[in-house]
Amino acid sequence: MDEMPLRLRDSVLVFNQENRLQFICTMELRVIEFNVLPYVVELIPLLDGTNSIEAIELALDGTPGFTRQSLKDVLTVMRDQRLLDRHPQIEHPGTYRFERQARLFHEFASTFSLDASPSQLQELLEASKVVVVGTGGTGTWLLQSLLAAGVGSFEIFDPDYVELTNLNRQVLYRPEDVGRSKVVAASDRLRAINESVNIKCHPVKIDSPVALNAALRDASVPIKGRTRSGGSLAAVSGLVANLTAWEALRLLLSLPLALSNQVRELDLFTLEWRIRKIAPRPGCQACENVP
């Protein structure tokens, strides 16, 4: 009936009380409850990805309520409710750089019913090119996070040079980089982390629509990494940059977006968000299909 071993999603917790199963889907904050026959309670620990359907049928044979057709119906419901993995696990996790990320991609594929497998999602990132304008407090954290996720190509723009005061919050720079071009120092650091990354450096300022249009040519995602001058902390720069990087990754992977058509302001003392909706500009091709 199934070629792929059956496996309950990592983010699904299961609780049993007198043959009433409660499934808590922590990824999407969803709770589902079913009254079940005794054999279904015995089924749950067998859904660990190591058992074929034949092995599960053999293990459950003789359990009250079990029939092959009933098991088939239960598994159909579990698939429809997105409780099971949609794709097989990687075969040699200890040798794969993105193993933990692939496990999260399994969750994405199941939660959002994606057709792409975890390996195909990773390939999407490898084939993507992100353009980052500004490699300071926000831009360096952005670059580090996107590189770590497996984005394959970058173009980075910044006319500035590394200063001593940059070192407390601009994560890619070291004391020996003071006086160097920011884009050159950043690219050296990124290649040290992942030597296969493709990076083009532009120690120039984007100061006109023509220059901006040229900079964004062939970009999968453009990101503004420049921020206003003023006081800042590494923790604040990292927070803002990583939220932005997460939204960029969602865009690259065709996952639901959270920041479209709105401005979010975070009170750093209360950690409360203020959200202001922004209506799409009529005729804008970039956001006409964004909900």
pLDDT digits (tens, 9 = 90+) for 106-157: 888 888 878 888 889 999 999 999 999 999 999 999 999 999 999 999 999 9
Residues 34 and 137 in one domain: no
User: Is 115 contained in some domain?
Assistant: no
- R_g (Cα) of the chain, nearest Å: 24
Range picked from 101-105, 132-136, 230-234 for highest mean pLDDT? 132-136
Q: Select from 80, 97, 117 the last residue of a domain.
A: 80
Do 63 and 147 share a domain, yes or no? no
Is pLDDT of 1 > 50? no
- Asked if residue 287 belongs to a domain, the reply is no
SS3 (DSSP) at 274: strand
Residue 209 domain-assigned?
Answer: yes
Q: Which of 243, 245, 238 is nearest to 138 (CA)?
A: 238
Least confident span in 3-17, 67-81, 88-102, 213-227:
88-102
The answer on 137 and 30 residing in a single domain is: no
**In a shared domain, residues 250 and 163:** yes
Q: Does 63 share its domain with 136?
A: no
92 domain residue, yes or no: no
| 146, 243: one domain | yes
User: In terms of domains, do 143 and 36 share one?
Assistant: no
How many whole angstroms separate alpha carbon 151 and alpha carbon 154? Answer: 8
Same domain for 72 and 136? no
CA–CA distances in Å: residue 122 to residues 24, 27, 93, 102, 103: 27, 19, 15, 8, 11
Amino acid occupying residue 157: F
Q: Is residue 55 in some structural domain?
A: yes
pLDDT greater than 90 at residue 40:
yes
Question: Residue 37 pLDDT > 90, yes or no?
Answer: yes
| Residue carrying the six token digits 């026959």 | 37
Q: Mean pLDDT over all residues of the chain?
A: 90
For residues 131 and 251, membership in a common domain is answered with: yes
**Counted domains in the chain:** 2
Q: Are residues 131 and 230 in the same domain?
A: yes
C-beta of residue 243 within 8 angstroms of C-beta of residue 265:
no
Residue 117 forms part of a structural domain:
no
Would residue 277 count as lying in a domain? no
Residues spanned by the domain of 37: 12-80
Residues 73 and 137 in one domain: no
pLDDT surpasses 70 at 289: no
Please report the DSSP string for 37-90 in residue order: -HHHHHHGGG-BSS--HHHHHHHHTTSTT--HHHHHHHHHHHHHTT-B-SSPPP
Residue 112 lies in a domain: no
* CATH number for the domain that contains residue 177: 3.40.50.720
pLDDT above 70 for 246: yes
What's the pTM?
Answer: 0.82
Q: Do residues 64 and 138 both lie within one domain?
A: no
